[in-house]
Amino acid sequence: MPRAVIIDTDGGVDDAAALWWALRSPELDVVAVTVVWGNVAVDTAMASVGRVLAAAGRADIPVARGAAGPVGVAPGLRPATFIHGDDGLGNTTNGLAAPAMTVATEAAPALIGRLCRERPGEVSLLTIGPLSNLGLVLADDPGFAATVGELVVMGGSARAGGNALPAAEANIAHDPMAAALVAEAGWAQPPLLVGLDVTREATLTDGHFALLGEHRSAAAAFLDAPLRFYRQFGSVLTAPDCPCHDLVAAMALADPDLIPDAPVLPMAVDAAGGPAWGATVVDFRAPAVARLRGAEQDRAPGFGPWRIGLGADVARFRSQAAALFGG
């Protein structure tokens, strides 16, 4: 029985790959896509998502518009159009007519809250953009967290430093206050953080790009040009390999063996505006402290228990990505 999942996305190129992956996964049933600002403006991200769903033959899935900006004070980041294109799809759709899509009547935070409350423990959440939508749901109803099945967040970094800022990964840096609310909410089970520690390891290779160019699957035909655009700037820290952050997170939701090294550790977000603004702070001392004291690990204010992805099964990721591209 596939697991019901809501995907919360900011409509970029790696988001499109993640969406394609989730739509063709027999493990997942995408019940809604919720859209948030981030890589591009929220309305551009809506159109980007609509194009993916239409190309995948799933224009029936409801798409809800969400936050157009951060819920709290946030660093002023420049738009990521240089990585994702003006359209969020590598400038492959600029000027085309709007896609046919099923736009939800509720805003994203309302839809997320309602779907999870209607089926407590049954609906999972995959977030692959800034956490503004989740922050809004939690601000309205902190009890919502206990109704969510599994939460997988692409964001943050335990040991790998930042990408948008020196210490901050982009999805957290866009809205640190929302991310701080998410970090310490009372989730039913520790959420999985899929951060730069794993997404810079589990990368796409030259072989994947050769395969993409053959257009052997509908996903490859759609993603080929956007991923080539994205690769130019998205892989500056990993060249010649190319991270595809959101795709790793989508696969990790469907396949728990993809990230075998994911200890439960306390995690918080620095929302204070200093040099580490937007950093995810992981307390690696916690297990040692717990052993020493023979008690539950101490948790400082603002921290919540998370499964922190530290190591991926890279071969597994690469083989599943190749399968998506028709290999």
Residues at the site binding ligand RIB, with contacts judged by CB under 6 A = 10, 12, 14-15, 38-39, 128-129, 154, 163, 169-171, 245-246
| Closest distance to ligand RIB from the beta carbon of 132 (Å) | 12
Tell me, yes or no, if 208 is annotated catalytic.
no
In 3D, which of 178, 208, 169 has the Cα closest to residue 74? 178
Contact partner at residue 66 from Ca ion, ligand RIB, none, CB < 5 to 8 Å by partner kind: none
Q: Is 310 in the site for Ca ion (CB under 5 A)?
A: no
Q: Enumerate residues 6+ apart whose C-beta is below 8 A from 21.
A: 219, 247, 250, 251, 254, 320, 324
Cβ proximity to ligand RIB, 88 vs 147, nearer residue: 88
Contact partner at residue 224 from ligand RIB, Ca ion, none, CB < 5 to 8 Å by partner kind: none
Q: How many CB atoms lie within 10 A of CB 47?
A: 21
| Angle between helical axes of 218-234 and 42-55 (0-180°, round to 10) | 150
Q: Is 13 in the site for Ca ion (CB under 5 A)?
A: no
Contact partner at residue 152 from Ca ion, ligand RIB, none, CB < 5 to 8 Å by partner kind: none
Task: Indicate the residue whose CB is closest to ligand RIB.
Answer: 170
Interface with Ca ion in residues 234-273 (CB under 5 A): 246
Residue type at position 287: P
Q: Is 128 in the site for Ca ion (CB under 5 A)?
A: yes
Q: Per CB under 5 A, which region of 8-16, 42-50, 235-243, 308-316 contacts Ca ion?
A: 8-16
**261 phi, psi to nearest 5 deg:** -100, 95
Contact partner at residue 90 from ligand RIB, Ca ion, none, CB < 5 to 8 Å by partner kind: none
Is 93 in contact with 295 (CB distance < 8 Å)? no
Contact partner at residue 8 from Ca ion, ligand RIB, none, CB < 5 to 8 Å by partner kind: none
Q: Is 90 in the site for Ca ion (CB under 5 A)?
A: no
Is 164 in contact with 170 (CB distance < 8 Å)? yes
Cβ proximity to Ca ion, 15 vs 303, nearer residue: 15
Q: Is 10 in the site for Ca ion (CB under 5 A)?
A: yes
Cβ proximity to ligand RIB, 74 vs 286, nearer residue: 74
Distances (CA, A) of 25 to 4, 133, 202, 321: 12, 25, 19, 12
Cβ proximity to Ca ion, 235 vs 297, nearer residue: 235
Q: Per CB under 5 A, which region of 5-13, 139-147, 177-185, 263-271 contacts Ca ion?
A: 5-13
Q: Is 129 in the site for Ca ion (CB under 5 A)?
A: yes
- Structure-token pair, residue 4: 């019901």
Contact partner at residue 184 from ligand RIB, Ca ion, none, CB < 5 to 8 Å by partner kind: none
Q: Is the dihedral of CA 186, 190, 191, 195 positive or negative?
A: positive
Place of tokens 């739509």: 23
Q: Is 15 in the site for Ca ion (CB under 5 A)?
A: yes
Q: Is 8 in the site for Ca ion (CB under 5 A)?
A: no
Q: Cα Rg for the chain, rounded, in angstroms?
A: 18
Q: Per CB under 5 A, which region of 53-61, 62-70, 104-112, 128-136 contacts Ca ion?
A: 128-136
Cβ proximity to ligand RIB, 87 vs 169, nearer residue: 169
Catalytic residues, which ones? Answer: 245
Which residues here bind Ca ion, judged by CB under 5 A? 10, 12, 15, 128-129, 246
